[in-house]
Amino acid sequence: MTERTAIVTGAGSGVGRACALGLLADGWTVVLTGRRAAALAETAALASGRDRERAVPVRADITDPAAVDDLFAAVADRFGRLDLLFNNAADIMPYTATEDVSAEDWHRVMDSIATGTFLCSRAAFRMMKAQSPRGGRIINNGAPSAQAPRPDSIAFTAAKHAVAGLTRSLSLDGRRHDISCGQIDIGNVTPYDRPQPAVRQADGSLRAEPTMDMRHVVDMVRAMAALPAGVNVQSVLVMPSSMPYVGRG
C-alpha cells in the first residue's frame, strides 16, 4: 500500500511532535491529535514542503470516550482506514511522596496514560479489524519506569506499568486480526527549551542525568512503523548509555 494513515496522540509537543514530523517525512498521512488546537497547528506548520499537506490536526481529549469515538469516526470517514496508532499522550506530575499524592493527581495521570491508551487502542482495534485489507500496528509510548521506577513517582510508574500490560494484551489479542502492538520505552531526551532538570536518584539525592538527542527516538519509531505486516518489535528501550536505569543506581 502506498497511502498510509497514522494517528499520533500528544502531537502538539515533545516526542509526539517529533515523531509525527518523522512519519510525515516518510510519506505517512498523520492525524495530529491533542487537546491544544494551536499546538497541533504549530506541529503541522513545522512539516516541510508537501509533507504539510498530509498533516491533519484534529483536537481531541483522549481521556473522553465520546471524543475518541468521534476522532476515529472522522479518520474512517476521511481516509477509509488506519494503519498506525502511536499512543503517546501523557499528563505528568512533579516527584511527590506517596503519602502526599492527591486522588485528583492520581486519576489525572492514570486517565491520560492508561485510560487514554486503552480507549484509543480499543477504537483502533474496531477499525483495523473491519478494514480491508485488515490489520495495522499500534505503538505505545512506555518509559523506563514501566520496568524500574524512580522514587516518588507512584502515579506515573503505575500508569506506565499499565501501558506495559496493555501492550502485551493488545499484542496477544491482535494476532488473530493481523494487528501488531509494540512498546518503546524512552530514556532522557535533551530538552528543547530549558535546562535538564535534576531528578530523584535511588539514594534520595537529586542530580541531572545524561540525555540523548530526540532524533534517536524518532528513528526508532519510524523503524517500528515501517516494518512489514507480520513483523513486530515487541518492546525496545532507547536511552543514553550512561543514564541510571538498572536498579536506578
% of the chain surpassing 70 pLDDT: 97
The CATH number, out of the four listed (3.40.50.720, 1.10.3720.10, 3.60.21.10, 3.30.70.370), of the domain defined by the range 5-248 = 3.40.50.720
Q: Bigger pLDDT: 210 or 249?
A: 210
Of 207, 90, 107, 187, the residue nearest 147 (C-alpha): 187
Q: What is the pLDDT of residues 194-203, one digit of tens each?
A: 777 888 888 8
- Within the chain, strands assigned E span 5-9, 29-34, 55-59, 84-87, 136-141, 179-186, 199-200, 206-207, 235-238
The pLDDT confidence band at residue 140, using thresholds 50, 70 and 90, is very high
Which residue matches cell numbers 502485551?
A: 168
Give pLDDT, residue 201. Answer: 84
Retrieve residue 92's grid coordinates.
505528568
Residues with Cβ within 8 Å of residue 194, at least 6 apart in sequence? none
Give pLDDT, residue 32. Answer: 98
The pLDDT confidence band at residue 248, using thresholds 50, 70 and 90, is low
Q: What is the pLDDT of residues 208-239, one digit of tens each?
A: 889 999 999 999 999 999 999 999 999 999 99
Q: What is the pLDDT of residues 157-185, one digit of tens each?
A: 999 999 999 999 999 999 999 999 999 99
Asked whether residue 189 carries a pLDDT value surpassing 90, the answer given is yes
Q: How far apart are CA 88 and CA 73, in angstroms?
A: 20
Q: What is the pLDDT of residues 57-67, one digit of tens each?
A: 999 999 999 99
Asked whether residue 249 carries a pLDDT value surpassing 60, the answer given is no
Could you tell me the residue ranges of all domains in the chain? 5-248
Q: What is the pTM of this model?
A: 0.95
Q: What is the pLDDT of residues 89-129, one digit of tens each?
A: 999 898 899 999 999 999 999 999 999 999 999 999 999 99
Question: What is the Cα 57 distance to its own chain's centre?
Answer: 16
Which residue matches cell numbers 492525524?
A: 31
User: What is the DSSP secondary-structure string of 31-75?
Assistant: EEEES-HHHHHHHHHHS-GGGGGGEEEEE--TT-HHHHHHHHHHH
Give pLDDT, residue 196. Answer: 76
Q: Bigger pLDDT: 210 or 68?
A: 68
Give pLDDT, residue 244. Answer: 87
94 by Cβ neighbours in 10 Å (0-12 / 13-18 / 19+) ranks as exposed
State mean pLDDT over 243-249: 74
Give pLDDT, residue 204. Answer: 81
